[in-house]
Structure formats: C-alpha cells, structure tokens
Chain A
Amino acid sequence: MALSKKEISILIEIVFSIVFAFIFLPYFYENQDNNLILMDDLIGKIIEILIFTVIYFSIAYSLLEFVFKKKEAKDERDDMINSKSYKLGYLLYEFSLFIFIGYVCSKFQNKELLNLTGNQELYNNFNLTDAGVVFLILILLAFISIVKSLYQFYLYRTV
C-alpha cells in the first residue's frame, strides 16, 4: 500500500493524538478530582506536553520532507477532502459540547438531589472539579481529532 505525502502527514497527526491520549491523558485522569491549583506539577506537565509536541512534529515532518523531496501541489481535491473532514469534526465538536453541557448540568442537579436526601457521604463524593472539566475537554478534543483525521485519511484513500 503506497501512501502519498499528504496521507502520511495525516497518519502523523493520528499517531500524535493517540500518543497524547495514552501518555498525557492518564495524568489528567488521575487528577480529575483535584482543583487545577492542587494538581501535582501542572506547569511542568504543560511544558512537557509543549516540548513533546514541538519535538514530535519537528522530527516527523523533517523525516517526511526528507523521504518525499518533491513538493505536492495543493488542489481542489484537497480542499474538498479537508472541508468534508473538518465539517465532520465541527459537527462532532458541536454534538459533544451539548453532551458536555448536559453532563455538567445533570451533575449539579444530581448533587442537589443528593443534598435533599441527606446522604452526606455521597454528596461529598459528587464533585465536578475544574481539573475534571479539563480532563473531559481534553478527552473530547483528542477523540474528535482522531475521528476527523481518520475520516480525512479514508477520503484520501477512496476519493
């Protein structure tokens, strides 16, 4: 299966999203019950993510340029594929935003209901922290990014 330069650059993005999800998301998952200010070395983690991102894309795209020396023209087919895949990404983003808002509202509503029932222990465990919100947003963004890129890759192979 011969892949074009554009297809490989999409695969680079997919691999990045998967690696990000497996390396950095567990940190946010473990700390989702904390507040951001109490998270263990958050600034260090953000710097780590930034450095990893810069190094990963620099190496990946340098290798890509080295292997595919010829420059590929960007044309209307690329625009069509990009518009279709970004449209899907945007729809997923909108849909997940609704789910996210619903989740946050239901969490607060349930918390109030628990308060009325007088179950203090459950009430105290029913928290939605800012770190939890950050974790949810990151996992949604990673998921949307992977789906968008996979669809883009599929279109490049089939259209």
Chain B
Amino acid sequence: MISLLGLALIHLAGAALRAALTSRAFTQVVRSPASGWYAVVLLYGLSLGAPGLVCIAALLAWLRFSRPRPAPSAPVLPLSFWLTLGTLAALMLARPWVPTQWDEFVWLAKARIESTGFATAATASLDPAQDLVPSGYPPLWPSLVAWLSLGVDSVSAHVGAASLLLVLCVATALETWWSRLRSGHPLLLIAVLATPFVWVHARSTYLDLPVGLLAVALLGLALAEDLVTATVLAVVLCALKDEGMVHVFAATAAIWVTAPVRSFKLLSLLLVGGLTAVLWRALLHVHGIANVDHAPTTPLWHWLPQALTLTAFHASDLWSWGVFWSIALALSLLPTEDRTLRALRWALAVNLVLSTGALLAGPEQVRVFAQNGTLLNRLLMQWWPVAAVLVLESRRQAPK
C-alpha cells in the first residue's frame, strides 16, 4: 500500500527534524508516533509559499530556542501500547477503500488536486475561479492525504492515506496518555471505546475525530510540559480546521487555570496556533476568498436556549452515544483535587462555551446546519476524546 510508504517517509523525516530540534537521540524519537507531525508542519509551511516559509523558519527557530535542556528522555512505549494500537488500527482499517459519506468525497476531492503537484491544493483553495467546496477551509488535511499517497491519484490510495492518518492521530493521543490510562480498569476502557457513533467516525475519513484526538494529545503534552511537541500539534490543529483554534485555546486555558505556577511559556501554544490561523485567513483575504461557514456576525443571543437544547438532544441520543455524555457530565460535576481531571473539565467547558458562542455569532447557515442535525454530533465527536479521558481518569476522584 503506497500510503504506508508515504506515512513511513513522513514519520522518518519528522523524527529526524524532532531529533535536530530537541537534541534528543533519533533512535529515541523515531519510536514516538508524534514525531511525524514535525514533518507535517514543515511541509504545510512550504506549501503556503513565501509567507509560510517565513513563518515556518520562525517557528523552527523558536522550537529550537525553547527546547528543554537537558533533553528529557522519553519512556519506552510498552508492548501493551502497540498491541492496543494494533487492535484499534485493524478495526479502523477494515473498510472498503472508497468514500461512503458526503464530506469524505469533498475532502478527498481536494486531495486529488494536490496529487497533481505539491502545494496545488493550497493554490487552488486560494483561487476563486476553482470554486472549491467547502470554500476557504485550511488545506492541510487533503494535502496531507495526497502527500501520504505520494501523488497517486486514486480513490483507494486517498481513502487508505486518510485512514492511516486517523490511526496516526489515535497513536499520538494514546502515546500521550498511555502512562496514566494503562493503570485503569480495562473494562472501563472497552466500555468507553464501545460508544457507537465513535465507530462510525473511526471507520470514516471525516476530520472531527482526528481533531479531537490531536486536541486531547495537545492537552496531555502540555500537562506533561512537553511544550515543543505541543506547539507542533497546535500548528497542526489550526491548519486542519478552524475549530482547531478553539481546541488550542481550550487546552491553553485549561492548563493555565489549573497550573500551580503559571508560566508565560504556556501562551506560546496560543500564539503559534493563532498565527497559523491568522496566516491562512490573511491569505484568504488577500486572494478574495470568503469562508462563509465561519464568518462572524452579530450574536443572536435569543438563540442560546435553542443551541443548548439542540446540544442536549444530540448528546442524549441513545443510539449515537449511549449514556456516554450523561456519565461524562456527572463525573464533571464531582469534586476533585486532581489537576489532570480539572484540566480536562476546563477544556470541555471552554470548548462548550466557545462553540456555543460560535453558533450564536456565526452565519445563519451554521444554525441551519445545527437544526438539520448535520453539525452538533460532529462537534461532540471533536470533544469526545477529552471526555473519554475524563471518564477513564474518573477513578482518581473515587473515595479510597
């Protein structure tokens, strides 16, 4: 499978870049699934031309300057990690190599453009005459699919690449939280992973689950004070989707509020994520492209009850979520002194507030999407990984 080769190449390049930036041994970082994202950030910057090149050079210099000294040694991932990841990957990849859901076609269509040459998806996204759908969205995900496919323009290669990227996101999130989750109750892990709707998205190439997984990985890395890799993920999140900025803000706020000592270094996540989002927005503006789905308007405050009602309807849908969100909500209300749990709660709460605000202050069509049932379950999918870790970590608030 060509995409597997593409993933291996990107991972090796990323590991080399990470080793150079963090002064850690290549043999150590090459075993970390998160290393691949370093190369992704570099490729994304290059694909945006001169402005991207300048930003990426500044980012690499900043990462090199801010690396921890001496370089921390990463724990070796145990066999149980690879077995768990392998099982999940097998279940996720056991799908036909064709798109089957609406947005899959649209995202992979942009990957076809990138298959004709490096940076062509970004160029086409900035060309109003090309009439791409959706208009104005950041081009990283489809570009990445094409890079993994090594330029092969075939539907099976693109679906395979996107599925592998989702596995990479799972691996990144799992790696970040493994040291804490491995000591948990195995049945609880199975029960959380059995959430029905998750398996719809786990066997799809939609972007919501990957964004959620990278968001929880970012939070975990920031909690572990690995700010270099967290910064890399902040760039990736903001280059994948506009909602990425909300996740970066939520994670930063959660860490900031719960930190025993507040360091301004934390704000670098917000700064770098914000610059990534602003760079793309500036390019859109210069080329006269509007992102009509995410253009801010005057907030419709009277729509707040409806937004909350719709969110409650979606979250309590037994067929999609079982009682996952009810239990996550209940566990969020229990008192705890555990910093990780508090950070997870803050991240969820900030996400809820900002996303509800975006519904109120977004264009009319966003509220229509919410009412038609095509939006809120996807937002819940983005929040699910953080909520899942919250449920899995709940044993830490149980009485002795």
Whether chain B is bound by chain A comes out as no
